[in-house]
Amino acid sequence: MAAAAAANDTPFANTKAGRMLPRFFCDDFFTMLTKYYTVEEANALLPKIEPLVAQLVERRAKVSRLSLEMGGLLMDLHSNVGGTLPSQLVQDFAVIEALVHKIQGYGCVVKDIHTGLLDFLSLRNGREVYLCWRYGEPKIAFYHELHTGFNGRQPL
């Protein structure tokens, strides 16, 4: 009995997925914070997420064009960078940030705003992996280990 009590006195606990967390992040609480997607669930979200990713990719391209138009103006610390282009750039950055938050609100991770790359946390054979989707792909057909990224993509 004393050994069991001592084991529970440790400030850390293992989660079901094998993560070591402070004990106050019990499995039930951690599960509430972490959404594991099945391939079917993630694919079902694509019709909602794809238009947002399209806006994100388009807005990022616009910011790149505006930045080029402004040339070195942004790098000149002594210049007054007020005006139409800088104001538009600030607005575009705000829209990009809002889109990223909205997309991530669905429980996925935005990995690359240039290509519209998203990851959905999933369990595969008891291991955490990412289901990987890139804007323009018709469905989620790849996954990768958490540490390998896009280059480690494997077919499902």
pLDDT band at 88 (very low <50, low <70, confident <90, very high): confident
Give the model confidence (pLDDT) of 109-154 as tens digits: 999 999 999 999 999 999 999 999 999 999 999 999 999 989 999 9
Residues 76-99: b if buried by 16+ CB within 10 A, e if exposed: eeeeeeeeeeeeebeebeebbeeb
Q: Which of 3-7, 44-48, 77-81, 128-132 has the lowest mean pLDDT?
A: 3-7
For the chain, the domains span 39-155
Whether the model clears a pTM of 0.95, i.e. scores above it, the answer is: no
Q: What span, in angstroms and rounded, lies between the C-alpha atoms of 44 and 106?
A: 12
What lies within 8 Å, CB to CB, of 104 at 6+ separation is 110
HSE on the CB side for 62, CA within 13 Å? 17
